[in-house]
Amino acid sequence: MCDKCGSHCETFGECIRNKGLSVGYCREAAGIDRTQSKAWNSELALYADARRQGIQPAGTQTHQIRAALDASDKTGTAFNAGED
């Protein structure tokens, strides 16, 4: 009996496989890496910050958020993309 995972592991490698561990951000070939994740989180944080200020961007992409922030700065009021 393995004292690490409670299974009947003969080797350390078998114990690790039984736990289902994997290396994070190792799927670069599939387009999933740390850089993409950081960019995504940064964009979400920028959007959340704009919404906290009462600004409603036309979308969640960085260029749309920046345009809404710039428009709000120029007019002095919170930009709302939903208004006609």
Same domain flag for 71 and 50: yes
Structural domain boundaries enclosing 70: 33-84
Q: Under 8 Å CB-to-CB from 56, ≥6 apart: which residues? A: 68, 78, 79, 80, 81, 82
Same domain flag for 16 and 45: no
Counted domains in the chain:
2
pLDDT in tens, the chain (84 residues): 566 666 778 888 888 787 777 666 666 666 667 777 788 889 999 999 999 999 999 999 999 999 999 999 999 999 998 874
Same domain flag for 42 and 80: yes
Same domain flag for 46 and 59: yes
Same domain flag for 37 and 24: no
pLDDT at position 41, please? 87
pLDDT at position 55, please? 96
Same domain flag for 18 and 55: no
Query: Can you tell me whether residue 6 is helix, strand or coil?
Result: coil
